[in-house]
Structure 1
């Protein structure tokens, strides 16, 4: 069978992360991943406390040193970051606004640029287009998606387009080419599909306008495999992950198979939240709220199907933890789980086998709903405040 993902990631020659899975904080003889060249690794955290926290990441220990806790005027429940231009964008879920900031990567200080309407109630997600000149915003309460222009200096313009894909739009992203956009609609059990005009900032319903899912799936977030032929979507209500074949010429997603994020026999309350694919394309991660865990899957290079590989608790000590968000470092060596209920940011090392191993270190961020890891080229590792 011809590989959907290409020969490299289906063979033993596939690029694998350096460094073992040892617990760095508690095992001095373990070999940590080497700190990657090319600039500082920063973690960005936001949530219910109304602040955007910027941390310096110690890539050997997994430790987080707070640089700045930037106060905002609303609820920054989700962020998008442009490291090349040192810009940060935040939804303001309470006030239906999108805020733009300039970032000083040395100090972690955010300077507001401007604010525009999200053109819909309850913005829950935003992402930058491939070229970085547009923001796509999913308005959860309004069931809409908006396209907002981004100037080179980070200033936001008024929306060039607003569409109504379906109830509880939870995310809006483009594929790697930037030619197509996708909006998982939790309340409509489908992923809306658009052609994206990256010159005019316009969305046009695809010839096949949606990829349907079974009733009560609740599609929430979607990620594309690094090689682009497959995508993976986590379903909040069903606690499952669906693999999709992606036809790059038509911009169409077609379901391949669905795997549960829960172990067989589990009967407790749970909802799926975040999803990520490893930079090598060999592993997929999904978070469970209720079960309070990160589920790990291996990716079959021939079919794109997922097989359960491991499961790790997302928090330390007694819960509830509620891992609403988690993030991988750009090189795939580190994973940070953001536990909304316990306010814990918990660090894990990811080895060549794809399994997260807790490092025994954490930071506190009350009501955290988002964590993201980004490397800033040309910036030295900043000193903590």
Structure 2
């Protein structure tokens, strides 16, 4: 079944009418926000099904003004969909299935779903494909929407799979494996790829390896999905730091890295022409005096570029950093309790006015308002019970 086959005649006619309206008003004096239209957003929730609490990917509506949650609904049954990504055109959702065996090999899998724009329902588009490494934990899509990129944690490698315009997912054409280890006696005995991300220009792909304390950089051929080493193909972080997630500033000039094993954010100046990285700052994700065991998980930059957020598992907080307008230096301005245990993942609302946190261990999602000037967070009191939430993404 293709995306086009899933689009109803009514949806087609509505889209055509809207397109005609947009052509007639190419430069509207004011583009309404979702909040002004009061149209609820659709949020998808990736989970772990191995616990028996969850069945797959869930969806829920979120009010753009109050951040109140609608009714939680199962969008599609699929095993251990631990990370999700939406295609650039919004027509499909891609999930990694964090398995250690698939198709008789030591591999997880990748599944593509068509999205019904009206209802938010998901329908499998094509057979799941092997991720070519065990326990895939991250998925991203290049800016053209043609290449799906996967980081395999246990496999220690990354893979690129072609995505056709019909929504059919092909077998991995590029697989990059690494060697090495780090000083941590348990977490760094082998490579552990944890994030793979195209840069804003879609010219380079950056990959974090928690097991070897490295960031790898490769040139991307967007037509074929081929990855070739950049001029400087890797950058080493502090031994034992464990780089986990990556995020770019909106202007593409800074790459932020959150490290899981030593609770820091590292900021790099990024050269968009060469893919080069120059370390600029390293700062703790925790306030002075924090002593309990802590493992940061997720990282996001506000669309304004003025605020950076990171989740702390252990402290169970969202760390809020202000970005200096001149020096670009980070300063910790807030450590906000997440109201639950194990904040694995969080996301900003499409307009940047809210932040939602998935507390994996306490089966809850909480909503926070984002201050328009400071970027700081305030609890809304909105709470959603959700089984083992590990990834949140808006359509």
TM-score, scaled to structure 2:
0.83
Q: Distance in 1 between matches of 2:79 and 2:140?
A: 19
Correspondence for 2:119 = 107
Correspondence for 2:391 = 370
- CA distance 1:65–1:371, shift in 2 (3 Å): same
Correspondence for 1:45 = 45
Mean Cα deviation higher: 51-60 or 276-285: 51-60
Report deviation, 1:138.
Answer: 0.4
Q: Distance in 1 between matches of 2:219 and 2:36?
A: 36
Structure with more of its chain in helix, by fraction? 2
Residues 1:260 and 2:284 aligned together:
yes
Residues 1:322 and 2:322 aligned together:
no
Which of structure 1's runs of 4+ aligned residues deviate more than 4 A? 36-40
Correspondence for 2:239 = 215
Correspondence for 2:161 = 148
What SS does the corresponding residue of 1:184 show, helix, strand or coil? Answer: strand
CA contact (8 A) 2:151 2:158 kept: yes
Structure 1 residues 246-285: aligned runs within 5 Å: 246-285=270-309
What is the CA deviation profile of residues 112-164 of structure 1, one whole-angstrom value per residue up to 9, with x for unaligned ones? 11211111111100001011111110011111111111111221011111001
Correspondence for 2:319 = 295
What is the CA deviation profile of residues 262-309 of structure 1, one whole-angstrom value per residue up to 9, with x for unaligned ones? 110111010010000000000000000000000000112333321111
Q: Distance in 2 between matches of 1:73 and 1:278?
A: 31
Residues 1:81 and 2:86 aligned together:
yes
CA contact (8 A) 2:40 2:64 kept: no
What is the CA deviation profile of residues 214-260 of structure 1, one whole-angstrom value per residue up to 9, with x for unaligned ones? 01110000000000111111001111101000011111112111110
CA contact (8 A) 2:342 2:360 kept: yes
What SS does the corresponding residue of 1:78 show, helix, strand or coil? Answer: strand
Report deviation, 1:165.
Answer: 3.8
CA contact (8 A) 2:147 2:225 kept: yes
Correspondence for 1:336 = 356
Report deviation, 1:37.
Answer: 5.2
Equivalent pairs counted in the alignment come to 338
What SS does the corresponding residue of 2:71 show, helix, strand or coil? Answer: strand
CA contact (8 A) 1:68 1:107 kept: no
CA contact (8 A) 1:243 1:304 kept: no
Counterpart pick for 1:184 among 208, 214, 230? 208
Report deviation, 1:67.
Answer: 5.8
Q: Distance in 2 between matches of 1:37 and 1:217?
A: 45
Unaligned runs of 5+ in 2: 1-32, 49-53, 103-107, 180-190
Q: Distance in 1 between matches of 2:88 and 2:269?
A: 30
CA contact (8 A) 1:244 1:256 kept: yes
CA contact (8 A) 1:242 1:258 kept: yes
Counterpart pick for 1:224 among 248, 252, 259? 248
Correspondence for 1:61 = 66
CA contact (8 A) 1:165 1:183 kept: no
Unaligned runs of 5+ in 1: 1-32, 375-385
Counterpart pick for 1:199 among 188, 204, 223? 223
Q: Distance in 2 between matches of 1:73 and 1:326?
A: 21
What SS does the corresponding residue of 1:35 show, helix, strand or coil? Answer: helix
Counterpart pick for 2:257 among 218, 223, 233? 233
Q: Distance in 1 between matches of 2:328 and 2:255?
A: 9
What is the CA deviation profile of residues 329-360 of structure 1, one whole-angstrom value per residue up to 9, with x for unaligned ones? 12110100000000110001101210111100
What SS does the corresponding residue of 2:233 show, helix, strand or coil? Answer: strand
Q: Distance in 1 between matches of 2:88 and 2:272?
A: 27
What SS does the corresponding residue of 1:170 show, helix, strand or coil? Answer: strand
TM-score, scaled to structure 1:
0.85
Q: Distance in 1 between matches of 2:383 and 2:393?
A: 15
CA contact (8 A) 1:278 1:328 kept: yes
- CA distance 1:373–1:36, shift in 2 (3 Å): farther
CA contact (8 A) 2:156 2:177 kept: yes
